[in-house]
Structure 1
Amino acid sequence: MIKKYTIKDIAEMAGVSKGTVDRVLHKRGKVSPTALKKVNKILKDIDFKPNPIAKNLKNNKIYRLCILFPDYHEDSYWAPCLEAVKEFEENYQALGIKAEEYGYNVFLPESFTKKALEVISTNPDAILMAPLFFNEAKIISKICHDKGIIVSTFNNIIKKEGFSNYIGQDLFQSGRIAAKLLDTLIGKGHIAIIHVDEIVQNATHMQQKEKGFKSYFKDNKTSDYKISTISIDKNFNLNNNESLESFFNLNTDIKGVFVTTSKTYVVAEFNKAHNKHLKIVGYDLVDNNIRFLKEGYIDFLINQNPKKQAFIGLSTLAEHLLFDKEIPKRILLPIDIINSENFKQYLE
């Protein structure tokens, strides 16, 4: 049997006091170089492994993790994040971890800033956020950095100082995969990239998808394609106040569409209503997307799995706080390609 060594055992073996061993193990207080060398030698000889769970329970420490993401009432894509929080608490609450969720308006950058500042004012141990607005996220990250609050992001990467890590897909690569799918579906012709309900200039996740999509065709020099990019809101209004119908009437040769958000159903509904026979690739297993996928008006969906992103993000932060585990710079999820034949196995 493997012997379990106590602080008293280690102290006797090293010829020092129990207090000295405690200070070495917990890296607090002053320890003479001689005593430190003796204790570390014994720890190495016995291959000592501290019990972080027992340590945390003994300290009676409660860690607070806050998760900030868009209000799921406004965008159903985010609803699974609530399930992730519930599942996380079932796994970690007994270890002294408390998770709190905060929502912001998916359409208003000022709502993100206001809610983020509210979270910061509560002095949490760490924050996991889905920052849709790049400029506002930079400001919030600096405030957290200055206050010593650990911050991680999911769904959207912000490559700036202050963020510990990113959990999600390689967005650039997912754009390339969408391009490959449409290349296979239509062979050649005119493709539209459509951003729905996002301010593209302030949304790096959409920019990365678009860049990846275009890079595929740039690298594939044998392809004969024209690519047009537009932004609309869910009511079919373009930035220049034209309707989605007007856009397609002016571009009658469009064969395929890449929708960069979970609102792929907006274009699919238009496709069905106007009998356009468009090939459509988009994102995410929201109910409306699944309906049009089954009906054949959406060809492929790329599943971003927000629940898994949120759960992994919270778990990574919890294990850092509990067990001093290093936080990886990024955790990339698989890029799952969904069609009408396999979508059921991805529904939980």
Structure 2
Amino acid sequence: MNKKYSIKDIAELSGVSVATVSRVINNNGRFSEETRKKVLKVIKKTGYQTNFSAKNLRMNKSFSVGILVPDISNYFFANVVQKIEKILFNRGYSTFICNTARDENKELAYLKMLESKGVDGLIIISGAKAFDISKLNSPNKIPFVCIDRKPKDRSNTVFIGSDHYQGAFDATNSLFQAGCKFPIIASHNRSSSSAVDRLNGFKDALSKNGLDFDSSRNQIVITTNDSTNAIDLLLKENPQIDGFFAINDSIATNVLSSLLRLGKEIPKDIKIIGFDDEPQDIHSYPTLSSVKQDTDKIAQVTVDNIIGLIDHTAITGESITIPVKLIQRDSSL
């Protein structure tokens, strides 16, 4: 019952070579599905555990990855990080998930902590407008991938992001196609590369439909959970407003509830489209149209690239754009 099994024991009990057991454990190399199941069954039955400390020293790897996220309560960030963690775990990597709360000092402190722990790589969703790894003690030592927020220098990393520009353009253009004459953008007061891309997409959709962008008339910045008074004032000054493109679903939901309080009929009087396609969108009334980011694809591409950088099989300097999809629901039809 208390016997400690070696990898040689597992090989003998499985009827395969030690090398084959090693390939199955590390999920690396060629072996059949039948062999994999047979080896894993023996491992489970015996309670065999890999000596990770010896393995890490031998391979000079910790088999761990640090993930920095600016707001773990944000649906998109939480969703993509959860999927990344699952894929990394299945590929033999543990993760350190660090919530920076959009605080650059906290972000730097976590980076230095992860560096000291000897992680093999970093996955960065930065709270800063442009992530800069040069503040680390050994900035060129740890491979890293940036998601959603563009890095200051792309030459030493891989950047992976949704097509925020196209999503905003398609959403705004669809408002015109649905009959809107004067849509505006509802945004927050934080600066990020994704927010800039969404604003540019909105501006270009306006231009395509014969309107010039004027921030005083075509944009409202939502800074509180209750924006009713601000929206009421905006509509009184600009009664021609008949559509909103919100930079995310949280703001879109805020705008939707405020407009309903003001007695507006959605979508008859004013149409609304958000961004991120959060689960709550199908439960709002009316249901909320939104731009969907492909978090499955983002997670898979991210893991493929960080492991590729760790193993020296991926190339830095790449920018990978993941397509988005406009989901039309009652709020904009």
Number of matched pairs: 273
Select the residue among 107, 120, 124 that pairs with 2:119. 124
The question of whether the paired residues in 1 share the 8 Å contact of 2:147 and 2:160 is answered with yes
Equivalences for 1:230-241 in 2 at 5 Å? Answer: 230-236=220-226
2:10 aligned residue: none
Take 1:145 and 1:256, find their aligned partners in 2: how far apart are those partners? 49
Secondary structure of 2:249's match? coil
Secondary structure of 1:281's match? strand
The question of whether the paired residues in 2 share the 8 Å contact of 1:262 and 1:286 is answered with yes
2:203 aligned residue: 214
Distance 1:245 1:234, change over 3 A: same
Take 2:238 and 2:112, find their aligned partners in 1: how far apart are those partners? 45
In structure 2, what residue type is equivalent to 1:81?
A: V
2:291 aligned residue: 302
State the Cα distance separating 1:297 from its structure 2 match.
5.3
Secondary structure of 1:296's match? coil
The question of whether the paired residues in 2 share the 8 Å contact of 1:64 and 1:99 is answered with yes
Q: Compare 173-182 and 118-127 and name the one that shifted more.
A: 118-127
Q: String of CA shifts for 1:202-229, please: whole Å, max 9, x gaps.
A: 31211111112112232444x6887511
Select the residue among 307, 310, 313 that pairs with 2:302. 313
Q: Does residue 170 of structure 1 match 2:169?
A: no
The question of whether the paired residues in 2 share the 8 Å contact of 1:150 and 1:164 is answered with yes
Secondary structure of 2:242's match? strand
Q: String of CA shifts for 1:35-87, please: whole Å, max 9, x gaps.
A: xxxxxxxxxxxxxxxx9936x998474332211113323x2332213431342
Gaps of 5+ in 2: 1-25, 30-54
1:274 aligned residue: 262
Take 1:318 and 1:148, find their aligned partners in 2: how far apart are those partners? 15
In structure 1, what residue type is equivalent to 2:234?
A: F
State the Cα distance separating 1:236 from its structure 2 match.
3.5
In structure 2, what residue type is equivalent to 1:70?
A: P
1:257 aligned residue: 244
Equivalences for 1:98-113 in 2 at 5 Å? Answer: 98-106=94-102, 108-113=103-108
Distance 1:161 1:81, change over 3 A: closer
Identical residues among aligned pairs (%): 18
Secondary structure of 1:233's match? coil
Take 2:202 and 2:271, find their aligned partners in 1: how far apart are those partners? 15
Gaps of 5+ in 1: 1-50, 342-348
2:88 aligned residue: 89
Take 2:154 and 2:317, find their aligned partners in 1: how far apart are those partners? 15
Q: Does residue 78 of structure 1 match 2:70?
A: no
Take 2:303 and 2:137, find their aligned partners in 1: how far apart are those partners? 17
Equivalences for 1:157-196 in 2 at 5 Å? Answer: 157-158=150-151, 160-161=153-154, 163-188=156-181, 190-196=182-188
State the Cα distance separating 1:178 from its structure 2 match.
1.8
State the Cα distance separating 1:260 from its structure 2 match.
1.0
